[in-house]
């Protein structure tokens, strides 16, 4: 407590000096326990005391407990009367603490970090003991034990020195606990690496604050728990003890339409070819995949509600589609086409594919395919050469005809009829099909 005392005074000063939190504290005190959390922007703390902000990142448990004590001291009479035990939740950490899920490791244990992703699973809410009441079954001595992250439950009674302590569930204090799972955002993946997942633990007023499909930014502390099996004694599992949840996707209600937009939408709705126009507007830089684009178009819209069949059966107005396909978007080139690898070497594509197929492959009609992990050079949509990964390798039976294309510089490439070419036009990279 001697170490925490100056921290308490400093945090009390922060809550009093920063006007917005002084007002929010009054609201919290008035609405407690219906509202139990005070959200603090990390940038505000950083401006007030950079050293204290750094301490929060490195020793979040100490700073968070101290912040709670500071809040209770500021409203001491009310805190004692109403058992005021608020949560202090920091958010909006700096970019240096924005960690990819796949990079979370030993360096982040017991530290405050920020991650972004999509919620994939959410379990049911379960009770978790917060304050355990232990009672001796021989001498009836009782003890209240606050349960923190590192609490070890005693089993020896201090009065009679017997190993006779048992927890009394009816007189212990529980809070809600919910476990969830988050997956890395696809746009944050590197090359062809798979999306990583991590477990989330949400407590008290954070339970049921997320649902699968939510795109969220999580601020929390990385925890580890020991293995349950003896054989895996050296390997600990990890999870995020969630401190704050913030949705990062825009809600539909936030889209504002001008009168001009509304008139334009009404005019488009009368166009008999509107379905095809919407489908063609989806990923215009990707040639082909018309069926996929039409399916995505249908998924964007609902049907007419409350429609009934002649026999009285109701028709569901929501459209549900199962879209299955290969995540690869490549087309076909001749086997002699040379590919630049990231190590600087150049190899014919057929040699690269054959090497991968020798490790094992699967067969589908007229093609063989396998998976691998090759670093290659490719051109991105900004016309810059970048290092990327090739993860799926196909060997397909050649069509009846192949086309040889010659560029203005005299270079040639032999491709299938479906192969698109990317050109630079009016400041944009566009795909264009060859004309014969």
What is the topology classification, in CATH, of domain 4-92? mini-chromosome maintenance (MCM) complex, chain A, domain 1 (3.30.1640)
pLDDT above 90 covers a percentage of the chain that reads 14
Give the C-alpha distances (Å, rounded to integers) separating 378 from 21, 194, 210, 335, 382. 50, 19, 38, 18, 11
Rounded to whole angstroms, how far apart are CA atoms 320 and 309?
19
pLDDT digits (tens, 9 = 90+) for 9-28: 888 888 888 888 888 888 88
pLDDT digits (tens, 9 = 90+) for 120-134: 888 888 888 888 888
pTM, to two decimals:
0.56
Domain ranges in the chain are: 4-92, 127-175, 256-315, 338-433
CATH 3.40.50.1580 fits 127-175, yes or no: no
Q: Which residue has the higher pLDDT, 54 or 2?
A: 54
Rounded to whole angstroms, how far apart are CA atoms 117 and 188?
9
CATH architecture of 338-433: Beta Complex (2.170)
pLDDT digits (tens, 9 = 90+) for 21-56: 888 888 888 888 788 889 999 999 999 999 999 999
Rounded to whole angstroms, how far apart are CA atoms 339 and 377?
8
Residue-level pLDDT at 201: 92
**Among candidate residues 140, 130, 137, 124, the one with its CA nearest the CA of residue 179:** 124
Backbone torsions φ then ψ of 209, nearest 5 degrees: -90, -5
Write the Ramachandran bin of 83: left for phi over 0, alpha for psi from -120 to 50, otherwise beta.
left
Backbone torsions φ then ψ of 291, nearest 5 degrees: -65, -40
Residue 79: pLDDT over 80? no
Q: How many distinct helices (H) and strands (E) make up the chain?
A: 10, 21
Which tokens sit at 273?
Answer: 């070819």
Residue-level pLDDT at 424: 63
Rounded to whole angstroms, how far apart are CA atoms 300 and 281?
13
CB proximity list for 425: less than 8 A, separation 6 or greater? none
Q: Give me the half-sphere count of Cα atoms (radius 13 Å) on the Cβ side of residue 29.
A: 18
The most confident of 171-185, 231-245, 291-305, 317-331, by mean pLDDT: 171-185
Backbone torsions φ then ψ of 265, nearest 5 degrees: -65, -40
Rounded to whole angstroms, how far apart are CA atoms 436 and 433?
10
Residue-level pLDDT at 283: 74
Residue 262: pLDDT over 70? yes
178 contacts 123 by C-beta, under 8 angstroms: yes
């Amino acid at each position: 407590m001697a170490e925490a005392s100056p921290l308490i005074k400093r945090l009390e000063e922060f809550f009093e000096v920063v006007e917005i939190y002084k007002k929010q504290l009054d609201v919290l005190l008035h609405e407690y326990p219906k509202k139990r959390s005070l959200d603090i922007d990390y940038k505000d703390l950083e401006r007030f005391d950079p050293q204290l902000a750094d301490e929060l990142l490195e020793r979040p448990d100490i700073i968070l407990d101290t912040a709670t004590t500071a809040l209770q001291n500021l409203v001491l009479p009310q805190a004692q009367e109403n058992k005021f035990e608020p949560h202090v939740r920091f958010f909006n950490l700096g970019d240096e603490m924005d960690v990819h899920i796949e990079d979370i490791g030993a360096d982040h244990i017991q530290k405050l970090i920020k991650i972004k992703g999509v919620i994939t699973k959410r379990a049911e809410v379960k009770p978790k003991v917060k304050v355990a009441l232990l009672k001796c079954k021989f001498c009836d001595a009782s003890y209240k034990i606050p349960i923190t992250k590192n609490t070890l439950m005693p089993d020896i009674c201090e009065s009679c020195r017997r190993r006779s302590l048992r927890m009394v569930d009816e007189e212990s204090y529980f809070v809600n606990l919910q476990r969830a799972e988050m997956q890395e955002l696809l746009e944050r993946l590197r090359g062809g690496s798979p999306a990583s997942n991590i477990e989330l633990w949400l407590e008290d007023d954070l339970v049921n604050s997320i649902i699968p499909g939510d795109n969220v930014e999580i601020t929390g502390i990385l925890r580890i728990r020991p293995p349950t099996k003896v054989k895996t004694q050296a390997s600990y599992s990890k999870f995020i003890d969630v401190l704050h949840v913030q949705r990062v996707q825009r809600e539909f209600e936030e889209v504002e339409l001008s009168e001009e937009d509304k008139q334009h939408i009404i005019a488009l709705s009368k166009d008999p070819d509107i379905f095809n126009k919407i489908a063609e507007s989806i990923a215009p830089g990707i040639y082909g995949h018309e069926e996929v684009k039409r399916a995505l178009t249908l998924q964007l819209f609902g049907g007419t509600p409350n429609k009934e069949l002649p026999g009285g059966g109701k028709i569901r107005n929501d459209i549900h589609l199962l879209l299955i396909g290969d995540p690869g978007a490549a087309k076909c080139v001749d086997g002699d086409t040379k590919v630049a690898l990231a190590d600087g070497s150049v190899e014919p594509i057929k040699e690269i594919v054959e090497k991968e197929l020798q490790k094992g492959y699967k067969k589908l009609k007229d093609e063989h395919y396998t998976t691998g992990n090759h670093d290659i050079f490719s051109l991105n949509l900004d016309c810059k050469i970048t290092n990327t990964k090739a993860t799926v390798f196909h060997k397909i039976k050649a069509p009846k005809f192949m086309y040889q294309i010659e560029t203005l510089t005299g270079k040639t490439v032999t491709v299938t009829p479906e192969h698109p070419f990317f050109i630079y036009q009016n400041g944009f990279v566009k795909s264009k099909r060859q004309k014969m």
